[in-house]
Amino acid sequence: MKTNKYKRIYEELAEKMKQGVFQPGELIPSEHELAASYETSRETIRKALTLLSQNGYIQKLRGKGSVVLDTSRASFPFSGLVSFKELAEGLSGTIYTNVEELTLIRPEPYLQHQLQCSAKEDIWKVTRTRVFNEERIILDKDFLLKKNVPTLTREICEQSIYAYLEKELDLTISFARKEITVEPCTKEDLSLLHMNGFSYIVVVRNYVYLDNANLFQYTESRHRPDKFRFVDFARRHTI
Amino acid sequence: MKTNKYKRIYEELAEKMKQGVFQPGELIPSEHELAASYETSRETIRKALTLLSQNGYIQKLRGKGSVVLDTSRASFPFSGLVSFKELAEGLSGTIYTNVEELTLIRPEPYLQHQLQCSAKEDIWKVTRTRVFNEERIILDKDFLLKKNVPTLTREICEQSIYAYLEKELDLTISFARKEITVEPCTKEDLSLLHMNGFSYIVVVRNYVYLDNANLFQYTESRHRPDKFRFVDFARRHTI
DNA sequence: CTTTATCACTTGTATATACATGTTGTCAAC
DNA sequence: GTTGACAACATGTATATACAAGTGATAAAG
């Protein structure tokens, strides 16, 4: 076991909650008991429980214990940074991805600003449409810095770019800033998506950062309004 | 100083970043240095830095240190659970709240389901419109369990309900689940808001939980699409 | 000049201890 | 029966120590 102890405990407990071994409303064993049964220290258990709390699995009650929250009401994962492929795995119906465009470009000023890069930087431009039940309802436009991603193929784009970056290139995606707005749809939206009469589109702008805090990807994900849904879990102050 | 040491340090460091004492891209002092200068242990500093990391202020780089992220690009606060009043403080223009309705009701089945309560529970129903520059662009419908909030006045609703709950009633709001969708607008939307020709509306459904993990409030916040903006900061895996 | 080893630094993880503080049940006093 | 003190639990905070592991500069070896 080369992996972290507290992450492993987190995974195990989360799994038990998903499988219903711990039911919503119940108290899980106390920190001392967990420390004993996992043969570790209380602080390590506390780190695992903190993760569970942050991800919406439990609520810690001082003096009482930790109660299991009802995660069935809202669909997982709660808060952002999920790729289309990860998302699609939880859905029914026929789903696939069309790669409309895959080219190397030089960024115009708008893109320079979004990616915080110079005009002579090489940029991968990937345009994909996402098809649910034969309706093209999502348009994803990805821009990646070539210096981070030397090669990119149609096949990779049809699968998951994220998976390729993390597993093949060993890049670690660390965090993202996301912005959701509603905007008038463009000619491109109309030509590539089944807009079904809608004249507005939900735009999710994603700024994705690597481990080393460098911005390396800018994504616009454009959703037909009736098929858009975003769920979020947020704690108020801080733990 | 009866408050937490690590929260105080978190606040102080966050303040320094907002004020530009620490510039984006710079490394902040190491954990050992901070521990020395704050006369505390490294673990306590680490708790403060973890909060800074979770809230998008810094990125920790193993072996190097913690770099300050550029928080000016996206507007704070990043992730949810912000009341209208807190939000309005960062904006320019004339802003106020109209209380359209404040009544006690019994929940119909839809509301029973949303609030997970019985049909004979007393519920406060608060309907408010939010006015920016003389345009009514947000419709907030709040439903609160009376057993948690015995009294509620027009004046409180014109200010911040959250502030009243936390400061006066000493209830602690702990976390919320949020869902964002786009839906056809209703007759109520048309009558209470300046829809400006829009026939769709952005609906943010909020399920708010107290400290003790009890659901106590359900809110629908309905935004005219062109004035809606949601920002989010998310870390990919954990920590 | 290039490569390699090492060292001094950084953050990450795990453990142990102590005390503070909130919750709940028990049991005695009234 | 009600109240109140208390004990036995729970989680929260703070501290100290040890070692693992990544980074970057320096110095020695080739």
pLDDT digits (tens, 9 = 90+) for B150-170: 889 999 898 888 778 877 776
At A77, the pLDDT band (50, 70, 90 cuts) reads very low
pLDDT for res B201: 93
pLDDT surpasses 60 at A185 = yes
What percent of chain A stands above pLDDT 90? 39
Contact residues on chain B for A181, CB-CB shorter than 8 A:
228-230
Report the C-alpha gap between A182 and A232 in whole angstroms.
Answer: 18
Write down the pLDDT at residue A1. Answer: 45
The type of residue at A101 is: E
Q: Is the pLDDT of residue A84 over 80?
A: no
- pLDDT < 50 regions, chain B: 1, 74-83, 85-86, 238-239
Q: Which two tokens stand for residue A171?
A: 């890049």
Contact check, Cβ <8 Å, B180/A51: no
Task: Give the count of Cβ contacts less than 8 A between chain A and B.
Answer: 140
Contact check, Cβ <8 Å, A54/B238: yes
Split at pLDDT 50, 70, 90, the class of A74 is very low
For domain B5-68, say whether CATH 1.20.120.1200 is its number. Answer: no
**Residue B103 CA to D22 C1' — how many Å?**
60
Q: What is the pLDDT of residue A151?
A: 87
Helices (H), B42-102: 42-54, 84-88
Q: pLDDT at residue A72 above 70?
A: no
pLDDT of residue B79: 42
* Stretch A144-148: mean pLDDT: 85
Distance A143 CA to D29 C1' (A): 46
Query: Mutate which of A162, A177, A228 to disrupt the B interface (most B C-beta within 10 Å)?
Result: A177
pLDDT for the residue numbered A90: 53
Q: Show residues of chain A in contact with B228, CB under 8 Å.
A: 180-182
Using a CB–CB cutoff of 8 Å, tell me whether B50 touches chain A: no
**Do the domains spanning A5-68 and A84-227 agree at the CATH topology level?**
no
pLDDT at B25: 87
Picking from A65-74, A137-146, A230-239, which range would have the lowest pLDDT averaged per residue? Answer: A230-239
| Cβ–Cβ below 8 Å for A238 and B10 | yes
Separate counts of helices (H) and strands (E) for chain A: 8, 9
Q: B42-54 vs B5-18: helix axis angle to the nearest 10?
A: 50
* Ranges of each domain in chain B: 5-68, 84-227
Q: What is the pLDDT of residue A236?
A: 62
Q: Which residues contact A17 (CB under 8 A, 6 or more apart)?
A: A52, A57, A58, A68, A71
Say which of B74, B202, B212 has its CB closest to residue A177. B74
| pLDDT for position B173 | 78
Kindly report, residue by residue over A11-47, the tens digit of the pLDDT.
999 999 989 899 988 899 999 999 999 999 999 999 9
CA-to-CA dists, residue A88 to A95, A130, A144, A161, B32, angstroms: 7, 10, 22, 14, 45
Do the chains contact at B7 and A173, CB–CB below 8 Å? no
Per-residue pLDDT at A180 exceeds 70: yes
Distance B44 CA to D1 C1' (A): 49
Class of domain B84-227: alpha beta
Smallest CA–CA distance from A67 into chain B, residue: B213
pLDDT of the residue at B42: 94
Query: Which chain B residue's Cα is nearest to A64?
Result: B212
CA angle B108, B112, B114 (to 5 degrees): 120
Chain mean pLDDT for chain A: 83
Instruction: Please give the pLDDT value at position B2.
Output: 54
Q: If you compute the radius of gyration of chain A from its CA atoms, what whole number of angstroms results?
A: 21
Residue A83 has pLDDT above 80, yes or no: no
What are B152's two structure tokens? 């509620």
CB contact under 8 A, A178 and B54: no
pTM check: above 0.85: no
Cα separation, A203 vs A224, whole angstroms:
9
Q: Tell me which of A212 and B32 has the higher pLDDT.
A: B32
Q: Do A213 and B69 touch (CB under 8 A)?
A: yes
Closest CA of chain A from B198, distance in Å: 10
Q: Mean of the pLDDT values across residues A111-131?
A: 87
C-alpha distance from A42 to closest chain B C-alpha (Å): 15
List pLDDT tens digits, range A158-171.
888 877 887 777 77
The tokens 């670690």 sit on which residue?
A172
Q: What is the spatial distance between Cα A13 and Cα A34, in angstroms, rounded to a whole number? A: 10
Instruction: Say if residue A178's pLDDT is above 50.
Output: yes
